[in-house]
Amino acid sequence: MQVESIGAPAVPQSAAATNSSAISQEEFIKLFLAQLNYQDPLEPVNNSEFLAQLAQFSSLEQSRQINDNIVGLLTMNSSNQALTLLSKEVQVTTETGASFVGTVQAVSYGERGPSLTVLNADGSFVDKITLSQIKLVQEN
């Protein structure tokens, strides 16, 4: 049985950048309280506006948590895909566009996700093969 290309890396490259610019719930509450303290006493802000802001932040925080969970699931999925390729014959397309057939011998994990070590037909090992470089899987 043959399976076509597995796909792109599961871990988004911008995930670290997103987390560094995010405001925490504690920071939001500090800003919220500062807004309350420094509002114009002659024209106070309506309570419903404050509640709407709080609800928006709560919704945003839930969205961030869902995103983190999805990234975790994608990471687990790519790890599972890599492990199922062990001892399978695969067709690999290198970054230069060359193609070769070999058997997956090992899986290693780094910050960019799993990478494979493939035993080439000439007996040499090729390291750091990503899942997106696998174009065809042949069942043995």
Convert the pLDDT of each residue in 4-44 to its tens digit: 445 544 444 444 444 555 677 788 778 878 877 888 777 77
User: Which range has the worst mean pLDDT, 50-59, 69-78, 123-132?
Assistant: 50-59
Sketch the domain layout of the chain as residue ranges.
10-83, 86-138
Mean pLDDT in residue range 94-117: 87
Give the helix ranges, DSSP H, for the chain.
Answer: 15-20, 25-37, 47-84
pLDDT higher at 16 or 118: 118
Residue 29: the pLDDT is 79
Residue 133: the pLDDT is 86
Assigned token pair, 51: 């509640």
Q: Is the pTM here over 0.75, yes or no?
A: no
Rounded mean pLDDT of the chain? Answer: 79
For the chain, give the longest Cα–Cα distance: 83
CATH 2.30.30 fits domain 86-138: yes
Residue 22: the pLDDT is 65
Instruction: Give percent above pLDDT 70 in the chain.
Output: 84
Residue 8: the pLDDT is 47
Are 89 and 138 a contacting pair, CB within 8 Å? yes
